[in-house]
Amino acid sequence: MMLNVRYLDPLRDGELIISFYKSLSRQSIRSRFMCVINDVEDCVKSLLSLRPIIYGAYQDNELIAVGEAYGINNAYEVALVVKDEYQGKGIGKWLVGLMLSDLFNRRGAVRVYAYMSLDNIKMVKISKHYGGKVLFNGDSYKVIFDSVNLRLKGIQQLSNTA
Ligand SMILES: CC(C)(COP(=O)(O)OP(=O)(O)OC[C@H]1O[C@@H](n2cnc3c(N)ncnc32)[C@H](O)[C@@H]1OP(=O)(O)O)[C@@H](O)C(=O)NCCC(=O)NCCS
């Protein structure tokens, strides 16, 4: 399968991103946002208004995963979701690697963090794989990546035109 990642634009690609999120199962939406969302469109619109960096993973011409990075100074919060039928095939792990590499190696990130629910085994495994420190954060985990614990050996770089 032919996988690639492109940056998506919060304004230009807004409709595409909203329809991607609307195609997800309630379970995936719940895991992504760590709560039940009734109005997905409204929720995604407010995220897009924060102008995150958006990574769109494509298989051939199908958008199959979306990751976002919300930056303040040199710290970025990241989150991602893989389309239901593509989960468990290594795509989340691959996309997190690309996002971390882009943020640390090209955008000068000092710290990248993510939140996930306590039952999100796959996301915890991915986080540990890349050297993230997994911390209890009340009823969720907070994972912190910094340049000291980061493990990105062998991860490909996103090209400028990706
Ligand atoms: C969490 C998510 C991004 C992971 O992406 P994915 O493509 O499904 O996961 P991967 O196939 O890359 O697997 C990641 C790890 O989990 C393991 N795994 C896969 N399926 C599993 C399963 N059913 N149970 C336990 N572990 C599993 C993989 O083996 C891999 O571990 P490894 O590196 O030790 O081999 C994806 O499932 C998703 O979008 N979930 C809903 C939204 C969400 O939870 N987002 C994260 C919030 S930040």
> What confidence tens digit (pLDDT) does each residue in 40-57 have?
999 999 999 999 999 999
What is the distance in A from the centroid of ligand 1 to the CA of 79?
13
Give, using CA atoms, the residue closest to atom 19 of ligand 1: 88
The domain made up of 3-110 has a fold known as Aminopeptidase (3.40.630)
Domain residue spans in the chain? 3-110
* Angstrom distance (rounded) from CA 117 to CA 124: 9
Query: Would you say residue 158 has pLDDT above 90?
Result: no
- Position 134 scores a pLDDT of 98
33-38: Cβ within 8 A, 24+ apart = 34/115, 34/116, 34/117, 34/140
132 lines ligand 1 (CB under 6 A): no
- Position 76 scores a pLDDT of 98
* Angstrom distance (rounded) from CA 31 to CA 116: 7
* Angstrom distance (rounded) from CA 7 to CA 34: 24
Tokens of 68: 């976002």
- Largest distance between two CA atoms of the chain: 40
What is the distance in A from the centroid of ligand 1 to the CA of 125?
7
128 lines ligand 1 (CB under 6 A): no
- Position 161 scores a pLDDT of 47
- Position 142 scores a pLDDT of 98
Q: Pick the more confident residue, 131 or 157.
A: 131
pLDDT in tens, 51-106: 999 999 999 999 999 999 999 999 999 999 999 999 999 999 999 999 999 999 99
